[in-house]
Amino acid sequence: MIRAAIVGASGYGGAELIRLLKAHPEVELVGLASRAYAGKPASAAWPQLLSGPDFAEVEDAVDEAEVVFLATPNGVAMDLAPRLLEDGKRVIDLSADFRLDPRVFEAWYGFPHRAPSLLKTARYGLVELHRRELAGARLVANPGCYVTAATLALAPVFAEGIVAEVLIAAASGVSGAGRGAEGTAFAETNEDFRPYKPAGRHRHTPEIEQNLGRVRAQGRWLSTWGPEDPVRLTFVPHLVPMTRGILVTAFVRLGRDLEEARLLELYRGFYDGEPFVRVGETLPRTKAVYGANAVRIALRRDARTGWWTVFAAIDNLVKGAAGQAVQNLNAVYGLNETHGLALEGLWP
C-alpha cells in the first residue's frame, strides 16, 4: 500500500482527493492537513465522511506519507514541496506553482517564483500527453481544470500543425471557484450565467497556450521543459449555476480544408487507447461525466463559415483536479492508470 497524505484537505480539491484515495485499492490515506481544522475529525469539514484520519498540522499529517498531495492555494507549494522532497517524499501539486515557466508565472500570478530551481524536477501531469515522462516522477504539477479540457480538446489539431486561430468559450460549475469563494452564494448564483475574467484576464490562459505550444513543437508526446512554439488565444470563462462540470467550446480555424469525418478520425487516432478520453459523435455535456475521470470530445464544422467547433466536457473536480492527481499517482507508481478511478459517472 502506498501511504498518502493530503495538505489543504479542507478545500473542494481535498474533499475529492479524500473520496478517491479512500477508495483506491493500492493507497492508504494516512494524513490530512488543514490549518483551520487541525485537531478535528475529518467529518468536521466534510459532512459526507464517516471515517478518515483526523486533520492535523502539516508536519504531523505528512509524517508517515511517502506521497503528498498538495491542494493548497497558489504560493504554498513552492515553499512546502522543497522540504517534502528533501524528506524523500513524492509530491503531486494541484496548485499552479509548478506548472509554468517562472517568468510567465510571475507575469500572471503577480509575485516571483520562490523555488525556480525545482521547476526542472517537475513533470506536468497531463497524463494523456506526458505519460512517457511521468513514471517515477518526484514532483508532479497537476494541470488546471479549464486547462485540462482545453488542451485535450485541441491537442490533436495542434499536433497536426494545422491550426490557424483559436478562441475558447468555457463554462464551469461553481465548485471551481473553491470553498468560500466570493460571489458564490446560492441565492445569487442560482438562475445566473455570467462571464468572468474574460479575454486575457484568466490565469489559465497562459497554461493552455504553453501546453498547445508544446504540442505544436513536440507532437504527440510531450516533455515538460522541452521545446515550445508560441501560441496566443482568447479565452473566456463563464460561471454556470451547477456544482460540478466544465465544458470547453473551442472555435478553431484550420489552415487546411478537412471533412468532418476526417477530423474525427484524426482525433480518434490521436487518443487511441486512452482510457479516459472518448471522442464521439454525440455532443459532450457535463452531466455525462459527473463524478468520473472522463473526457468527452466532439467536433463540428460550420460549413457556412469554415470555422470548426470542438467541445470537451470534464468534471472539474475529477479529471480537472483530484481524479487527474490520482491518475498521476498511478502513472508515477506504474499502476494500472484507471485504478481507483471511475470511467463513468452518476446519472441522473
Q: Which residue has the cell 479529471?
A: 319
Comparing CA positions, the residue from 9, 37, 40, 11 lying closest to residue 22 is 9
Contact set for a copy of itself, span 306-345 (CB under 8 A)? 307-309, 311, 313, 342-345
**d(C-alpha 174, C-alpha 187), whole Å:** 13
**d(C-alpha 136, C-alpha 175), whole Å:** 31
Out of 74, 218, 223, 234, the only residue in the binding site for a copy of itself (CB under 8 A) is 234
Out of 38, 104, 162, 169, the only residue in the binding site for a copy of itself (CB under 8 A) is 169
Distance in Å, CB of 306 to a copy of itself, minimum: 9
Of 7 and 248, nearer to a copy of itself (C-beta) is 248
Contact set for a copy of itself, span 170-189 (CB under 8 A)? 171, 173-175, 179-181, 184-189
**Partners of 310 in beta bridges:** 250, 299
Out of 38, 85, 162, 167, the only residue in the binding site for a copy of itself (CB under 8 A) is 167
Contact set for a copy of itself, span 57-86 (CB under 8 A)? none
Contacts of 248 (CB under 8 A, 6+ apart): 146, 149, 150, 153, 168, 169, 170, 310, 311, 312, 313
* Helix 145-159 with 204-218: angle, nearest 10 deg: 30
Is residue 151 within 8 A of residue 216, CB to CB? The reply is no
Distance in Å, CB of 273 to a copy of itself, minimum: 14
Interface with a copy of itself, residue 12, by CB under 8 A: yes
Distance in Å, CB of 296 to a copy of itself, minimum: 9
Contact range with a copy of itself by CB under 8 A, out of 67-75, 152-160, 169-177, 262-270: 169-177
Comparing CA positions, the residue from 130, 112, 120 lying closest to residue 220 is 130
| Catalytic residue list contains 145 | yes
Contacts of 259 (CB under 8 A, 6+ apart): 301
Contact set for a copy of itself, span 38-57 (CB under 8 A)? 43, 46-50
Burial class (CB in 10 A: 0-12, 13-18, 19+), 84: buried
Interface with a copy of itself, residue 15, by CB under 8 A: yes
Is residue 103 within 8 A of residue 124, CB to CB? The reply is no
Q: How many residues bind a copy of itself (CB under 8 A)?
A: 84
Distance in Å, CB of 259 to a copy of itself, minimum: 14
Distance in Å, CB of 43 to a copy of itself, minimum: 8
For residue 269, the tally of other CB atoms under 10 A from its CB is 11
All three cell numbers of 318, joined, read 475529477
Out of 40, 131, 138, 300, the only residue in the binding site for a copy of itself (CB under 8 A) is 300
**Partners of 297 in beta bridges:** 279, 312
For residue 307, the tally of other CB atoms under 10 A from its CB is 15
Of the residues 145, 217, 250, 321, only one is catalytic, namely 145
Interface with a copy of itself, residue 23, by CB under 8 A: yes
x-marked contacts with a copy of itself along 84-123 as a string, rule CB under 8 A? ----------------------------------------
Of 162 and 169, nearer to a copy of itself (C-beta) is 169
Is residue 340 within 8 A of residue 333, CB to CB? The reply is no
Out of 241, 255, 269, 334, the only residue in the binding site for a copy of itself (CB under 8 A) is 241
Of 143 and 323, nearer to a copy of itself (C-beta) is 323
Out of 245, 320, 323, 340, the only residue in the binding site for a copy of itself (CB under 8 A) is 245
Out of 89, 90, 278, 319, the only residue in the binding site for a copy of itself (CB under 8 A) is 278
Contacts of 85 (CB under 8 A, 6+ apart): 91, 118, 121, 138, 139
Distance in Å, CB of 114 to a copy of itself, minimum: 26
**d(C-alpha 77, C-alpha 96), whole Å:** 9
Interface with a copy of itself, residue 32, by CB under 8 A: no
**Residues with catalytic roles:** 145
